[in-house]
Structure 1
Amino acid sequence: MRRLLDRLYDAAAWLAALAMIGVLAMVLLSIVSRQLGFNVPGTDAYAGYCMAAAGFLALAHTLKKNEHIRVTLFLGRLHGGARHALEMWALSAGVVLGGLFAFYSVRLAWVSHRINDISTANDATPLWLPQIAMALGTLVLLIALADEWVLELRGQRRTIDSEEALHNE
């Protein structure tokens, strides 16, 4: 199961990297087309879609690599059961909020598909297409948060100590 979850997080990160390449391609296409005197409509919108996709798809991988910003001023002073209780509370809140985020992201994409909502920009893209990346990213984040919750419950979760966080700056 661990290998499958790690592959899921890595796959989402690779999709995020591809989306960043998409941002680069759209920006370069926009610049080159302007320099050569022709217009490619929608490049700014597609760059935005790719940027949003990259951000959402990278959430779970960033969480699992302990790269999310954490405020450890208070947490670093706790040890043992108090620290475990606070971690469980924070992860429980994260799972609940991640679940709501995932639910409403999937719902947004579904409703956009159902009502045939399209972009108001000149690209007229059906909005459910770029919203799929947001929905997928939030679903994988929810899985990662639940994974972290279970690991913390079992006492197997890797955490960063305050001193280690200071050296990363």
Structure 2
Amino acid sequence: MPAFRRVMDALYLVSGLLAALCLIAILSLIVMQMLARWTGEVFPGAPEYASYAMAGASFFAFANALGRGAHIRVSILLNAVPGKLKYLMELWCFGLGGIISAYFTYHAYQFVYFSWRFNDISQGQDKTLLWMPQSVMVIGGALLTLAFLDNLIHLILRGEHRIVRDTVAAHSE
């Protein structure tokens, strides 16, 4: 089981790193487009590529963010209820989250499949095959589904989820 745990944690970390690289790509694209405008050149497709990178940043970050406690949760409510009710509510939340993300991933896959099947291209200057940037939705959705199920199974087997909040809370004095 420890090897499986390491693989899952590494997968979530790589997903977060890919999201960070997408953000760097957005910055780079914006700077390159600014430089192109200043020099009188044209950088065709830059807005489309930036939007693809934005989708990548969002979807790749989902699973990593869940494990780090960065998603909006109902922690105030969960911390106010007694142990057994909290456990049942967390089961409900992880189960429902897993079902919703699996449903989204399934339909995103169908969307990507039809884009690939019909050779759909973007209508911008980039003429990108749309199944390529759309695939990020499927990968990110699948990773989020996996993260929800991972936490659900861990909650069932160990009595607690794996979400560890790694942010520093601001304290007012």
What is the TM-score of this pair, normalised by structure 2?
A: 0.90
Report the counterpart of residue 161 of structure 2 in structure 1: 157
**Which deviates more from structure 2 when the two are superposed, residues 151-160 or residues 72-81?**
151-160
Report the counterpart of residue 147 of structure 1 in structure 2: 150
Specify the code of the residue in structure 1 equivalent to 2:96: A
Q: What percent identity do the matched residue pairs reach?
A: 33
Alignment partner of 1:74: what SS? helix
Taking the aligned partners of 1:117 and 1:22, their CA distance within structure 2 comes to 24
Gap regions ≥5 residues in structure 2:
none
Residue deviations 1:64-101 (CA, integer Å, cap 9, x gap): 11111112332221121111001101111111001001
Report the counterpart of residue 82 of structure 1 in structure 2: 85
Structure 1 residue 158: Cα displacement: 4.4
Report the counterpart of residue 129 of structure 2 in structure 1: 126
Taking the aligned partners of 1:104 and 1:23, their CA distance within structure 2 comes to 27
**Which deviates more from structure 2 when the two are superposed, residues 65-74 or residues 38-47?**
65-74
Change (3 A) 1:160 1:136: closer
Matched, 1:27 2:30: yes
Of residues 65, 69, 79, the one that matches 1:66 is 69
Give structure 1 regions of 4+ aligned residues with deviation exceeding 2 angstroms: 71-74, 158-161, 165-169
Of residues 49, 54, 68, the one that matches 1:51 is 54
Taking the aligned partners of 2:168 and 2:39, their CA distance within structure 1 comes to 49
Specify the code of the residue in structure 2 equivalent to 1:140: L
Q: How many residues align?
A: 167
Taking the aligned partners of 1:98 and 1:139, their CA distance within structure 2 comes to 8
Question: Are the equivalent residues in 1 in contact too, given 2:68–2:164 (CA < 8 A)?
Answer: no
Structure 1 residue 133: Cα displacement: 1.2
Gap regions ≥5 residues in structure 1:
none
Specify the code of the residue in structure 2 equivalent to 1:51: M
Question: Are the equivalent residues in 1 in contact too, given 2:122–2:130 (CA < 8 A)?
Answer: yes
Taking the aligned partners of 2:76 and 2:46, their CA distance within structure 1 comes to 43
